[in-house]
Amino acid sequence: MDNNVILEFKNVTKKFPGITALDNITFSIRRGEIHGICGENGAGKSTLMKILAGVYPSGTYEGQVLYNGQELKLVDRSIHQAVEEGIATVFQELTLVPSITVGENIYLGKEPVKVGIINWEKLYADSKQVLEKYHLDVSERSIVHHLGVGKMQMTEIAKALSEDAKVLILDEPTSALAEAEIEQLMDILRGLKKHGVTCIYISHKLDEFFKITDSITVLRDGKMIITEPTKNLTVEILVKNMVGREIKERFPKGNRKPGEVILEVEDLHALDPRDPSTELLKGVSFDLRRGEILGIAGLMGSGRTELVMTLFGEFGKITQGKIKLEGREITIHNSRQAMSYGISLVPEDRKMHGLVLIQSILRNISLANLNRFSTWFRIDDIAELKESTDYAKSLNIKASNLQAMAESLSGGNQQKVVIAKWLMSQPKILIMDDPTRGIDVGTKYEIYKIMNDLSEKGIAIIMISSDLEEVLGMSDRIMVMCENHSVSTLATAKATQEKIMALATGTVSQPVLER
């Protein structure tokens, strides 16, 4: 046995009724390395990780998984056994209890007890030790819901490591993080490597693989396509192997011709409705033209989402400043009103804010548009089905039929359902908050093409993104936000990643607006 190998998959096949999720997977992961796994949605990454976590226990799949040379035999469906074996997972959706402290979360379910009573001193001391050992910069006594996403994730990592994990699985850890936080995470992972922890790293952001991984395995349609040391690979090779064809450019070229100004925002200030003592927006100004894509860049917590939610009438209480639509000053109190002005919002978190997961695709698409099909006492369900089908087709939503539940779709298709819903409302202004978060390369490309089509038809698009390449690749102009105000608006031609980062982190100030 090769002592350098910690995990080995041998001919692993996992079938679900009607589909082979994993097809004869064979590859190995070396001890102490950071091993990237990439593939489009539905390629089998999650299924593979669920086998490691014990969600699909031994016997429900064919083939073998060797862990330290021994066959991994997980029997119960809970993740506890895997954790005891030293395999811990940081899930894509954070699984913390928000109302209690970081320390309590780290030791949730395994609190140190003395005669049945929790030993709080030990709990916090141990938490502190874990946090310090791995350089996780978060206080063990903070209440979780006060933390930002980045710190929550650190807590999640600490929770995984507190059991002395040998293998740490990170499932799209950066999908909710801003650039600076990603850097921090990368440092943490490098630190873990020094402590001898093996990491399995799943992501849709290909550049991250080259920053951090030692080797990469690509899955496609349940098959292992390649497994190579990172130094032998390039982004192009990865993409080609992931999609099975060559994608020439990541961003499709549009033929956009921005027209006259449709929306002007002048010095907007707004308060947090839940906590009126904090100012969420401290002076935001920009304008938006017909048929253009305006990118909004900024770190997580810079007020990007708060800004668009306020424009949609569903968040901040405006205290100062003006919003002008087609030259006329307007006030927006709720989403109904925003929609009546022709403003639509594809929200950041599609599962929480975009979709009713337990309802069909059809009902999700038509939800915001029922007025079009209905009188006071009747919905024309056939017209509804017809129009929804048209939108679903034009966006290429992949599903057996529109009666399928939204929760059964892959992330990319879910996002397309949300977009279909808002396109049906025929907006003049479409706001998209991180529209390609957690979506595979192929579907991203499709969404970019949809955005180009829309803007060519004269719709003005505001796109928030954490991915700077995306902002640069798709926008006509870029507004940068920093600490809850707008710093600058740049023409994309004059912008670079460095320039945007400098503005977003406040290391240079450039309060001038380039119009």
Partner 1 sequence: MTTTTVPSSKKETSKFGQQLRTNFQTYALVVAMIIIWIFFFIQTDGIYLSPQNFSNLFRQMTITGILSVGLVMVIVAGHIDLSVGKLAGFVSVVVAYLQAYTWNQYLPDASPLLTTALSVLIGLIVGTLYGVIQGWVIAYLNVPSFITTLGSMWILNGLILIRTAGKTIAANQPMFSVIAQGYLPPTTGWIIAIGVSIVLFISMFTGRRRKVKYGFTLPPLYQDILKTVILSALVFGYVYYVNEYSGVQNPVLILIIIAVIMSYVANNTKFGRYTYAIGGNREASRLSGINIRGNTFTIFIVMGFLCGVSGVVMASYVGYGTIAAGQGYELFAIAACILGGTSTLGGVGTVFGAMIGAMIMASLTNGLQIMNVPSAWQYVLSGLVLVIAVFLDRVMKRNR
Rounded CA-CA distance 482/509 in Å is 10
Residue placing its CB nearer to partner 1 in the complex, 61 or 209: 61
Residue placing its CB nearer to partner 1 in the complex, 126 or 380: 380
Q: Looking at 311-404, which runs of residues are DSSP E strands?
A: 317-325, 328-329, 343-346, 374-375, 378-379
Residue placing its CB nearer to partner 1 in the complex, 184 or 364: 364
Question: Minimum CB separation from partner 1 for residue 313, in Å?
Answer: 10
State the first-to-last Cα distance of the chain, in angstroms, to the nearest integer: 65
CA distances to 71, 79, 173, 189, 493 from 89, rounded to whole Å, are: 19, 9, 11, 14, 42
Strand partners, 62: 13
Question: Minimum CB separation from partner 1 for residue 250, in Å?
Answer: 24
Question: Minimum CB separation from partner 1 for residue 83, in Å?
Answer: 17
For helices 381-394 and 411-424, what crossing angle results, to 10°? 120
Residue with tokens 């093409």: 449
Rounded CA-CA distance 82/423 in Å is 44
Residue placing its CB nearer to partner 1 in the complex, 378 or 457: 378
Question: Minimum CB separation from partner 1 for residue 412, in Å?
Answer: 10
Rounded CA-CA distance 369/422 in Å is 8
Residue placing its CB nearer to partner 1 in the complex, 426 or 509: 426
Question: Minimum CB separation from partner 1 for residue 308, in Å?
Answer: 11
Q: Interface with partner 1 by CB under 8 A: which residues? A: 16-19, 21, 42, 47, 50, 55, 312, 314, 334-336, 338-339, 345, 347, 352-359, 363, 367-368, 370-371, 374, 376-379, 381-383, 385-386, 398-401, 403-404, 407-410, 413, 421
Question: Minimum CB separation from partner 1 for residue 354, in Å?
Answer: 6
Rounded CA-CA distance 59/57 in Å is 6
4-14 burial, b for 16+ CB within 10 Å, e for fewer?
eebbbbeebeb
Is residue 113 classed as helix, strand or coil in its secondary structure? strand
Residue placing its CB nearer to partner 1 in the complex, 403 or 497: 403
Strand 117-118 and strand 167-171: the pairing is: unpaired
Which candidate, 260, 259, 208, 262, places its Cα nearest to that of 235? 208
Residue placing its CB nearer to partner 1 in the complex, 278 or 408: 408
Q: Is 250 exposed, middle or buried (0-12, 13-18, 19+ CB in 10 A)?
A: middle
Residue placing its CB nearer to partner 1 in the complex, 93 or 456: 93
Question: Minimum CB separation from partner 1 for residue 420, in Å?
Answer: 13
Is residue 129 classed as helix, strand or coil in its secondary structure? helix
Cite the DSSP H helix spans in 291-437. Answer: 304-311, 335-340, 361-366, 381-394, 411-424
DSSP state of 66: E
Question: Minimum CB separation from partner 1 for residue 222, in Å?
Answer: 9
Question: Minimum CB separation from partner 1 for residue 421, in Å?
Answer: 7
Rounded CA-CA distance 313/500 in Å is 28
Residue placing its CB nearer to partner 1 in the complex, 319 or 371: 371
